[in-house]
Amino acid sequence: RQRQMCIRDRTYSPTSFGDGSAILYGTVETEGGQVALTNRCGAVRFTLTDDADIPGLLRKIVLRSNAPEAPIAGEFAFDLTDGKLDPIAERGSNEVTLLLPDEGVTLDPATARDFYLTIPAGDYPQGFTITFVGDCGRTMECQWLRAAQGAEPGITVHAGRIVRFASMNFDAKRRITSEEDWNEFALAVNTSENDDWMEEWADRNGTVKLAADISATELTCITKEWTGTFDGDGHTITRTQAALPLFATVCGTIRNLTLAGKMTLSSLSVSGSVALASVLEGGTLENCINKMNIVHEGAMHAAMAGLVRSFKGGAIRKCVNEGDLTLIVDCSSDSYNAYAGGIAATIHDLSSKAEIEDCTNKGKISIRTDMGSDNNNGLNFAGFGGIAGWLADGDADRFARFSHCTNSGTIIYEHGSSAKAPSKTLCCGGILGLGAPATSTSAISNPLTSTCYYAEFDTCSNEGAILNGGISASSSGAPLSKIYSGGIAGAVFGLPDKHSLIRNCINTGSVQPHEGKYSRAAFSGVCAGLIGLGGY
């Protein structure tokens, strides 16, 4: 015979095991005979102290089995013939919680306090993770992987016996779970000296963790240079009226974070129109996603991106932009420069290599100049790309490397005048818009006489449409004042002694002059499947 039974969270008892802790089994052969009951579960014990001046208040203990095939809660089949517990597929849980009183449990620096959790007896081949949650979201997480020093990974819990975990001091740090938590954290970073904020917010590895999704109109942005590690832990920060990047300058690490919401700007922003960071220099972004839609309209020089405005070295890995980027520049009174990229707006002033690996743009990048006036001067100098807008640095030691990057978003530029147009270059590309220097007379210098920038493109691909509606004042074949478009890059110029490397790249997207309101593509537009204009 079998029956189903459910193993749930436990209720804490200060003097003994809580209710529902013991699952007992016994059989009898004759009616009225004596039944000997034996345990089907074992117990794990945690011993905590707190040596802080003000002892901590414990709110919850969570035990998690690290092996998916070894659940410790949920629904089990209970075999009445032998007392065996078998987890029911897709109904088990790898996590069980010890529920503490509403007022919490105060830890004593002088006296160790024991806590017990009962779980089904058996082998747990990857051990456990134990999370202790205190007041104000303070959290300590421990790994319990081996039964004894030098033993093979795995822990065995015997029925009716207690497995003792090592005694620990409750050295917990705050985790960010709300808008209020974030604002307190950001204020602490912005105002502290010598990274004093880490004492409260960073764990022993120097990591600050986001423990819940946050949604707010706007949040306090971190304006001080970020040198620590911020782990979004897969959560999302949504800002419905964002005005600044969440971080100013990042020299540390940001990972596993998703951004969402909307940013709408109408004036010049030194920080740029970007969701995550104004500057990335020597730091790392990893597994970050931007879903925020960004709109910037006004008379200004502009830089727009999903994640980073100015990339000055470091690494961006496995990041994605899904937000739509819309840039509208009023060029009626002057001509402005503009750059936009799904991941980074500009790559320049490199202090180290700039690695962009396994990154993807899925958002639409739309740029237009004022469509209502024939006095429109047009953009002076511009680069728009699915991954990056303008590359403005690179030599044999410090250079940008695009590896396994993809673009599937449409990149479209529209110019709003037939009477006026700039005599400088405007470039659009699936991976990079423009990889060449700017001078006072032309956007692209002659590679035979000027130093350009080394870069690498390795196994990159584009399937998005590249629709470049820029026009040029040039009416001749002069190569320095044209509109260039390419499936990988609009323009790339390497160095005479270090040619740019482009290998294993594929374009399947349409590359063409955009049939917008005006077009001079017949004599000023150059399109190609991979590179619009190349040198070295």
Nearest residue to 307 (alpha-carbon basis) of 228, 382, 405, 212? 405
What is residue 31's three-state secondary structure? coil
The pair of three-digit structure tokens given for residue 464, joined into one six-digit string: 């998005």
Residue 199 burial by Cβ neighbours in a 10 Å radius (0-12, 13-18, 19+): exposed
The average confidence (pLDDT) of the chain is 85
What is residue 474's three-state secondary structure? coil
Residue 293 has pLDDT above 60, yes or no: yes
176 has which bridge partners? 210
Q: How far apart are CA 359 and CA 533, in angstroms?
A: 24
Most confident residue range from 254-263, 478-487, 505-514: 254-263
> How many C-beta atoms lie closer than 10 Å to residue 419's C-beta?
10
Give the residue-averaged pLDDT of 263-291: 89
Whole-prediction pTM value?
0.77
What is residue 320's three-state secondary structure? strand
> How many C-beta atoms lie closer than 10 Å to residue 190's C-beta?
14
What is residue 326's three-state secondary structure? strand
Let me know: does 533 contact 484? Beta carbons within 8 Å.
yes
Residue 479 has pLDDT above 50, yes or no: no
Sign, Cα dihedral of 202, 206, 211, 214:
positive
Most confident residue range from 59-73, 180-194, 364-378, 424-438: 180-194
Percent of the chain with pLDDT over 70: 85
The pair of three-digit structure tokens given for residue 63, joined into one six-digit string: 């035990």
Identify the pLDDT of residue 39. 86
The pair of three-digit structure tokens given for residue 398, joined into one six-digit string: 């410090």
Residue 179 burial by Cβ neighbours in a 10 Å radius (0-12, 13-18, 19+): middle
pLDDT digits (tens, 9 = 90+) for 399-408: 999 999 999 9
Nearest residue to 436 (alpha-carbon basis) of 420, 454, 419? 454
Amino acid at 457: F
Identify the pLDDT of residue 29. 77
Query: How long a stretch of residues is the chain?
Result: 536
Residue 229 has pLDDT above 70, yes or no: yes
Furthest-apart CA pair in the chain: how many Å? 108
User: Angle CA(400)–CA(406)–CA(407) in degrees, nearest 5?
Assistant: 110
Identify the pLDDT of residue 422. 61
Percent of the chain with pLDDT over 90: 46
Residue 13 has pLDDT above 60, yes or no: yes
> How many C-beta atoms lie closer than 10 Å to residue 60's C-beta?
17
* CA-only gyration radius of the chain, Å: 30
Q: How far apart are CA 368 and CA 341, in angstroms?
A: 15
Output the DSSP codes for 32-69: T-----EESEEEEEEEEE--SSS--EEEEEEEEES-TT
CB hemisphere CA count around 308 (13 angstroms): 35
The pair of three-digit structure tokens given for residue 145, joined into one six-digit string: 């992987």
Q: How far apart are CA 304 and CA 382, in angstroms?
A: 12
Identify the pLDDT of residue 18. 61
Q: For residue 368, which phi and psi values (nearest 5 degrees)?
A: -150, 150
Residue 348 has pLDDT above 70, yes or no: yes
Identify the pLDDT of residue 534. 86
